[in-house]
Chain A
Amino acid sequence: MATKKKILIVDDDPNILLSVEFLLVKNGYDVLVARNGMEAIEIIEDTVPDVVLLDIMMPDVDGYVICEFIKKNERTKSAKVIFLSAKSREIDVDFGYEIGADLYMIKPFSTRTLLEKITELLK
């Protein structure tokens, strides 16, 4: 049996963490959860996830910084980064892609699309 893929969810809204964690566990993923930027970086330094779901606006370290951290680091850059953000302007989205995100989804997103995209990225 193939090993479970690891997904890290980073968001400061507990309800989003609650729902997405449930969704991903139900769909057979190994889920890690970070409530803020620092926690996320600690987890990434420890284990490299296959996918990172990233909120952008967080009180300590914002999602852009974490994305850059992941993509600039030789060891971690294989991780796919999906931004899940309420920042909906074109420049926000463009900037996300510019710093290396694999996907940018605007909140509120469809959980079904999210699952499809994760499967696609992990192919």
Chain B
Amino acid sequence: MNVWLILCITLLYLVLLFVVAYFAEKKQLLSDKWSPFIYALSIGVYCTAWTFYGSIGRATVFGPDFLSIYVGPILLMPLCWGFYRKIIKISKVQKITSIADFISSRYGKNISVGALVAAVCIVGVIPYISLQIKAIADSFDILNTSSNLAQSSTLIQTWKPLVVTLVLGFFIMLFGTSKIDASEKHVGLVNAIAFESIVKLIAFSIGGLYIMYNILNNYTSIQIQQNPAVQHLFTFDTNSGYLKWFGMTILSFTAFIFLPRQFQLGVIENKDDAHLKTAIWVFPTYLILINLLVIPIAIAGILFYNGQIYNPDYTILSIPGALRADWISMIVFLGGFSAATGMIIVETIALSTMFSNNILIPIILSNRTLKNSFFTHVLKSIKWIRRISILFLLFLSYSYYQYISGKYSLVSIGLISFTAVAQFAPSVLFGIYWKRASKLASIVSISIGIGIWFFTLVIPTLVSAEIIPSSFIDNGLANISWLKPSHLFGVAIGDPITHAFFWSILLNIISFVSISLFLQPTSEEITQAELFVDIDQYSSSYEQSFVRSGNINIIDLRKLMSSFIGELKSKQLFRQYFLRNQLEIPLDNQKADQGVITYTEKILSGVIGAASSRIVLQSMMKDEVIRMNDVVNLLKESQQILQLNKELSNKSSELGKAYDALSKANTKLKQIDQLKDEFLYTVTHELRTPLTSVRAFTEIMHDHPDMDEQKRQEFLKVMVYELERLSKLITQVLDLEKLESGKQQINKIKVIPLDLVNRVVGSFNVDINQNQQKIIVNNDTKFDALLDVDLMERVLVNIIGNAQKYIPSELGKIIITIKSTEHELYISVEDNGPGIPAEQRSQVFNKFYQVAQSKISNAGGSGLGLSICKKIIDLHKGQIFVDESVNGGAKFIIQLPMK
């Protein structure tokens, strides 16, 4: 294909990737329910160019051996997810930014540990990054030369890898340094990587299916089976086979967790540890899918090239090329490109965080002049330190590619990196499960492990690159035969990788355990050990778990924090801290307590890593760490208190019943109290509204003596009305209180019900006649009834008054019906107003209930009238309820006993 076309498409792809990241960051492309899947797919960054191209090469030469590095994650991820989740939990609580940060935090936030881990990562993983550059460059060449129309200029040929590296560097800076807080989530990055995982799977499947269809279809199954090279593919080397597979399973699982890019996406970028539940099946499925076609492609390669010399690593790209399927090749190339770039991007971001937080910033902080200028431009400095780190790391990778990695296959370089990061396994594993694990043990064991790694794996590559004489390999160090890199201690175990892994991890573990057992841990280590091992107990009370006598003011702490994360955000975080812990917000010049100091340290460690943030805080104050025995005692004390509580609550089981009864009574009292409060609140609220008008009008009339007479009259009228409303409300509140408290006496006398009704109706007649409204009374009883006349009049006034408010001013009609049996009196009041909706009928007797949307009720209604009626009827042992009248209005029905 035309070189410019390839370059254009590649660049477009990078832009697309960036667009995906950008939109995911700003707009949130997919709803939250997808985030577990995005998380699982992003861990798919495990599959790099090594998987995409290298597996086929490995399968062609060694058979099923290529699968060994996937067995670890596939088997152990579902089995060991509790271990993984613990790491995630700890990292969240401690605001961990990288694997170096994790290990250094565990061992007392020690700078040396952090720097050592960071250095190991850089040394171990740089070759792996360079391998991706190599894959991009090689695949580009294959794509470019597979067509005869190649017009590549030599200029591009030579500079291409460097250009690719620089363009990627630019993209990584965009991705990685937009946020200062390295423990903050890079949503865009995660989405882009998940997207790349999908691209590489699809591209690989398209390439694979194309090759199978075009090559394997031309051969019969007998032809395929009898090819000796194909047969070799299915032979399992039983000699060192089992040991090797066992070793690889462990090795690949540790790599899966500790490789900086895996730690970044799997632990740091994890939003919610519940997402693991999805990841433990999605991720293994992904690995199986992407490996499904490897063997068929390898077989197709052997058949297609039939004895010719070819580079089996790139079978999937070179066959479509040879068949002139340009677009298939392009798709495959993009798949490989995304596999490689995904790895480079995340690995570089993770490494640069470590390089800046664990190596550069501690160096800067140890130098007085550098430190001062760092503090004056904190935000800018950190950004630039990160950017420089990214460029520096890419430059290292590029150099490695130029001088060394050209001579190795993709897989062998990758495995060397795996073995390097596996050296962290003992420090982490013991660190989170064993409280005695000590700092020195960690430093020594990682150093020993990495030393053996260097000796057994790196030196041979340097020999091949002709940097070290080959006699070294043949005769051993200083001609001592048991110091030969490939036969350490005179023992040869399987292939070089298994050999190196076995010896480095064995000595690593032995030194770790023996030193930890031998040493008395320091106070700082004990604290962190407690926090890591018993994460579930401390995850919520992290800030309280430190004891230190600080000598720093609140204002200084806040200034410090705002120089790192900006004034506004630090102000918010401080407020949050005090609110969350229900503390009073202290004055600026007050001394900061340990909680705030630790909180600040934690926030800062999100930006510059745990170890650096500790130095910053220590340098800010005369920090005297209190004897840590006290800390441990404190922690133990709080645990003892918990224990004691448990026992007490057990003992109280005998008192249980009494307690239950009491608490029930208490709840009831509280409820009554609350109802009372609620009532009082509503009453005062109801009082406030008329008072507001009265006060406003009074003040206005006082302040504006010149207002015209008509206006004054209008205002006075309103005031009179509002004052009436007020006094009515007060009367009713008092009435209700009397009824509710049981102080209301009932005074029954013999009355004729019709007389009672007529008296009340008479009081309405003046208004009624003015308004052309009618009240009709139907009487159908001759009996006397025993009633409290005074109270019953109040009930009728209320109900008829209500009805009058709702009926139309013309042709409004109220019908009152009186009936009785020997034992029961029945009075109904119906109107032709709008009626009361069925669902509200049961509530109208509640205090302060007003039928929704009926503003008329506000006209003088207090919302208490009907509840008073109900109380009075209750007092008579009768019933009152609402129904719908025949003409659609409301119908109030009262039933009373005759005696």
Residues of A within 8 A of B (CB): 12-13, 15-16, 18-20, 22-23, 26, 59, 84, 86-89, 106-112
Contact = CB atoms under 8 A, between A and B. Distances in A.
B689 A13 contact: yes
B853 interface: yes
B688 interface: yes
A13 B693 contact: yes
B646 interface: no
Contacts of B685: 86-88
Q: Could you say which of B684, B691, B700, B858 has the most chain A C-beta atoms within 10 Å of its C-beta?
A: B700
A111 B698 CA distance: 10
Interface in B707-765: 711, 714-715, 718, 722
A71 B855 CA distance: 29
B703 A15 contact: no
B678 to A, nearest CB: 11
Given A88-B685, A108-B692, A19 B697 contact: yes
A22 B688 CA distance: 20
Given A23-B700, A87-B685, A88-B684, A109 B855 contact: no
22 contacts: A12-B855, A12-B858, A13-B692, A15-B693, A15-B697, A16-B689, A18-B718, A19-B697, A19-B718, A23-B700, A26-B700, A59-B852, A88-B684, A88-B688, A107-B691, A107-B692, A108-B688, A108-B694, A109-B695, A111-B699, A111-B700, A112-B703
B852 A109 contact: no
Q: Sorted from nearest, which 6 A-B pairs have the closest CB atoms?
A: A86-B688, A19-B696, A15-B693, A108-B692, A107-B692, A108-B695
A90 to B, nearest CB: 12
Given A18-B714, A59-B852, 9 more contacts: A13-B689, A16-B696, A18-B715, A59-B855, A88-B685, A88-B688, A106-B688, A107-B688, A108-B692
B33 interface: no
Q: Interface centre among A13, A15, A112, by most B CB within 10 Å?
A: A15
B704 interface: yes
Contacts of B700: 19, 22-23, 26, 111
A26 B689 CA distance: 23
B834 to A, nearest CB: 15
A12 B689 CA distance: 11
Nearest to A111: B699
B722 A112 contact: no
Contacts of B704: 26
Contacts of B246: none
Contacts of A84: 692
A107 B689 contact: yes
Contacts of A15: 693, 697, 718, 722
A19 B715 contact: yes
Contact of A23 (B689, B694, B696, B714): B696
Nearest to A15: B693
B281 interface: no
A97 B492 CA distance: 76
Contacts of B695: 108-111
B681 interface: yes
A113 B718 CA distance: 22
A107 B755 CA distance: 45
What is the predominant secondary structure among interface residues of chain B facing chain A?
Answer: helix
A22 B858 CA distance: 22
Contacts of A12: 855, 858
A26 B696 CA distance: 14
A16 B692 contact: yes
A111 B697 CA distance: 9
Q: Which one of B699, B704, B718 has the highest number of Cβ atoms from chain A below 10 Å of its Cβ?
A: B699
B712 to A, nearest CB: 11
Contacts of B855: 12, 59
A90 B606 CA distance: 37
A109 B711 contact: no
A24 to B, nearest CB: 10
A63 to B, nearest CB: 14
Contact of A111 (B688, B703, B718, B858): B703
Contacts of A87: 685
A12 to B, nearest CB: 7
B86 to A, nearest CB: 39
A86 B853 contact: no
Interface in B862-892: none
Nearest to B704: A26
Contacts of A59: 852-853, 855
Nearest to A18: B718
B703 A19 contact: no
Contacts of B703: 111-112
Contacts of A19: 693, 696-697, 700, 715, 718
Contacts of B688: 86, 88, 106-108
B729 to A, nearest CB: 13
Contacts of A26: 700, 704
B689 A86 contact: yes
A41 B681 CA distance: 29
A86 B692 contact: yes
A20 B696 contact: yes
Contacts of A106: 688
Contact of A112 (B691, B699, B715, B718): B699
A51 to B, nearest CB: 17
B494 to A, nearest CB: 67
Contacts of B692: 13, 16, 84, 86, 107-109
Interface string B835-855: 000000000000000001101
Contacts of A89: 681
Nearest to B859: A14
| Highest count of chain B CB atoms <10 Å: which of A87, A89, A108 | A108
Q: Which of B692, B700, B718 gathers the greatest number of chain A CB atoms within 10 Å?
A: B692
A122 B697 CA distance: 24
A19 B721 CA distance: 14
A15 B696 CA distance: 10
A83 to B, nearest CB: 13
